[in-house]
Amino acid sequence: MAAARSSNRVRVDIFYDVVSPYSWVAFETMCRYRSFWNVEVHLRPVLLGAIMKESGNQPPAMVPNKGVYMSKDLQRVAKYYQIPLRQPSDFFEVIIKKGSLSAMRFVTAIDLEQPNFLEPVSREIWKRIWSTDEDITTPESLLSAANKAGLPSELAQKLLEMSGTAAVKDRLRLTTAEAVKYGAFGMPTVVAHVDGKPHMFFGSDRFELLADLLGEKWVGPIPPGQKSLL
């Protein structure tokens, strides 16, 4: 494994929002590769809506042809990456109208106070919106996801209450601004820090290029010796 070659691992930041299905793909892929490649993966929750606004971008589904393509593409992506992606039954209501602000504030609170739970809770929220077609905007839904991820109920409730504080809002805003500073215009955005310089990659289909930059090998959606956490 690459990790055995050197103790000086390359930092790789993955900026994500659970409203983005392609962020889920990049998230799971980097989690599978973090011990296969010589990397130190940092999960960075951001708010996609703010990034789109700041960069002047718009959701792909707002362009008819892109929307049709995305619907078909997600089926292929789900099969290839072995991720249970399913488009929500009411896409515009769930993705465009409701969005992910409450969810991303919640995972930001978790990142601040209980970072060990950031990965599993994010994964469970993704499952709700992009696999089982459930709401992610209500407190009950977020607490259910946290419970499935193993976060104790009382602690989850405390973190949910904390998600409305200035500290959490500021953290989410600053991390989002950091992604924009790197050049982000959508999600996922992956930034590899090599030789003191940040190298940004957009999307979930740039792992071959990331591997080339890192001097590693891309061997498919699940590298040897690794397994899917889904």
Q: Which domain holds residue 117?
A: 9-214
Q: Average pLDDT over the chain, rounded to whole?
A: 93
What's the number of domains the chain is made of?
A: 1
The answer to whether position 34 is within a domain reads yes
Residue 230 placed within a domain: no
* 105: CB partners within 8 A, 6+ apart: 163, 164, 168, 169, 172
- Whether the bond between 139 and the residue before it is cis, its omega within 30 degrees of 0, is no
Over residues 64-100, the pLDDT tens digits come to 898 889 889 999 999 999 999 998 888 777 777 788 9
pLDDT at position 64, please? 84
pLDDT attached to residue 41: 98
- Enter the tokens of residue 201: 């990659």
DSSP 58-76: --GGGSHHHHHHHHHHHHH
Domain of residue 137, CATH code: 3.40.30.10
Q: Has this prediction a pTM greater than 0.85?
A: yes
Whether 51 maps to a domain, the answer reads yes
Q: Which pLDDT score is estimated for 7?
A: 64
**pLDDT value at residue 6:** 53
The answer to whether residue 221 sits within a structural domain is: no
| Confidence at residue 216, expressed as pLDDT on a 0 to 100 scale | 98
The pLDDT score that the predictor gives to residue 4 is 45
